[in-house]
Structure 1
Amino acid sequence: MKRSYYQNAIDAFRIDDVNSVFGKLAKNHQHELEDQQKKAWLKQIEILKYSLTDIQGNIILNFLFRESESG
């Protein structure tokens, strides 16, 4: 089981196409993908690409917890 919908180095994320990032999120989403969720992801991707300038590290989007790990 994948632990996140999307994971990459920040540098790679910033050069990755918005539709590619969105596609990975959508592919790994295990529920019905509603318009509100699509719009939220697209806006989040846009904001993160702009905000993560000059920051090194990794980015993980939609990290999954198993029931026993969530509390």
Structure 2
Amino acid sequence: MDEHRARFVDIYEGPILVGESFWRFTAKLELFKRPILDAEWVIEAPDYIAMADIFDITKNRDWPRYCEE
């Protein structure tokens, strides 16, 4: 993971209490610099790049469920 500079495009929504001690906020952000993968990822882990959308879909579908417990 890398740090990226961003700014809020609009006011955030929330907080929403999720579970006993987790809070959820939703916001639209604008990145100042688009994150780009290093060329070595293409050689070392091509499946990571080709299947990245599956990870995002699964994370966004399943992860909130675990925060609610």
Task: Give the structure-2-normalised TM-score.
Answer: 0.34
Structure with higher strand content: 2
Greater fraction of residues in helix? 1
Q: RCO (CA 8 Å, sep 6+): is it higher in 1 or 2? A: 1
The structure number with the bigger radius of gyration is 2
